[in-house]
Amino acid sequence: MVAQLQKAIENYAKRQMTWFKRDKRILWVKKYKEAQKLAKELLKKRRDNKPRPGKETTL
């Protein structure tokens, strides 16, 4: 039973990766340094574009 559950989880993870790889909005990052740089840029943009009170924003 444990082996079946493990296999089902692995198959589910594969389906998720297939699904996400098709989404062109996702930027896949391979290196930690690249991820750090992108995160810092995103946070800087968010800080620089402070919303006015009562104004909703999205990423």
> How confident is the model at residue 27, as a pLDDT?
87
CB under 8 Å to 20, separation ≥6 — which residues?
26
Phi first, then psi, for residue 13 (nearest 5°) are -60, -40
Sequential pLDDT tens for the chain (59 residues)? 999 999 999 999 999 999 999 999 998 899 999 999 999 999 999 888 876 666 666 65
Task: Look up the pTM and report it.
Answer: 0.48
